[in-house]
Structure 1
Amino acid sequence: MYPNQDHSLYQQDDIAIQAAAATPHQLVLMLFAGLMDELVRAKSHIVAKRYEKKAKSINKCIDILNGLTAVLNYEKGGEVAANLARLYDYCVFRLYGASHQLSTELVEEAEKILISLHEGWIRLGSKSKKNG
């Protein structure tokens, strides 16, 4: 095993431990953190013409967005959950376009939306802590 692989396995174990102990809100924040990092990687792969890596990064982003959509609670969340689902779907649509058109601009469009959503999730956690 190469040293970098060893580090990667430890990182995966650490993430798995954090996820196992996390609240649903913390899990969403963890997913967003990974998503935001991957969007940056996707843009750099497009710029550097690393198309295979670009495809993997975009696919990871889409998988995370699909995961975020899948865990929405439509009963409790109502219209907010439905709106989030539409925004996640729109970002998936833009990322597919970015992948096919090799467009960092389309990635950035999705990224701007997701930054706003991420900030909202962070604020929600702050309010919960104050009220809890």
Structure 2
Amino acid sequence: MNPIKALRQYQKVSSVAQTSEASPHRLVQMLMEGGLDRLAQAKGAMSRGQIDQKGIMLSKAIEIIGGLREGLDPEKSESPESLQELDSLYSYMMVRLAEANRLNDADMIDEVARLLITVKSGWDAIATAE
């Protein structure tokens, strides 16, 4: 058996198990972690000249951020203004990643990663406050 395939299968099973047991809050954290992972993978592919792989990873990151954006719920928000700002930020991140892909610009990927880390830090703080 190929050890890389075995590792990927283990990771897939582990992810499914974590997802099935996770709270909604933890699921959002996992999405953010996945987005950051895809951004790192895109940068690695970019540095290796793997243009197709870079595009795939950036597309996955855009999908994840789109999922976070779709998950915003105005019905449960205590601050509609903050929710609108977060929606705009997610939209901005998605546009920047599309530009980063088109222009092959690692700095744009870093910018989005920093923004996502900032949002994730706030989200993580909510978990510790509960």
2:68 maps to 68
1:127 correspondence with 2:116:
no
Matched pairs, number:
128
| Distance in 2 separating the partners of 1:92 and 1:110 | 9
Secondary structure of 2:108's aligned partner? helix
2:107 maps to 105
| Distance in 1 separating the partners of 2:90 and 2:65 | 6
Name segments (4+ residues, structure 1) moved above 6 Å. none
1:38 maps to 38
| Distance in 1 separating the partners of 2:45 and 2:87 | 27
Q: Which runs of 5+ in 2 are unaligned?
A: none
1:73-130 Cα offsets, whole Å, 9 max, x none, are 11112232222111111000000000000000111111111110010000011111xx
1:84 maps to 86
Secondary structure of 2:114's aligned partner? helix
Q: Which runs of 5+ in 1 are unaligned?
A: none
1:24 correspondence with 2:20:
no
Pick from 95, 98, 119 the counterpart of residue 96 of structure 1: 98
Which 10-residue stretch deviates more, 7-16 or 51-60? 7-16
- Tell me how far 1:46 sits from its aligned partner: 1.5
Which amino acid letter does the alignment assign opposite residue 69 of structure 1?
A: R
| Distance in 2 separating the partners of 1:7 and 1:100 | 32
Secondary structure of 1:83's aligned partner? helix
Which amino acid letter does the alignment assign opposite residue 52 of structure 1?
A: D
1:32-62 Cα offsets, whole Å, 9 max, x none, are 1111111111112112211010011101101
| Distance in 1 separating the partners of 2:91 and 2:107 | 18
| Distance in 2 separating the partners of 1:125 and 1:80 | 18
Q: TM-score, normalised by structure 2?
A: 0.92
Q: TM-score, normalised by structure 1?
A: 0.91
| Distance in 1 separating the partners of 2:4 and 2:110 | 30
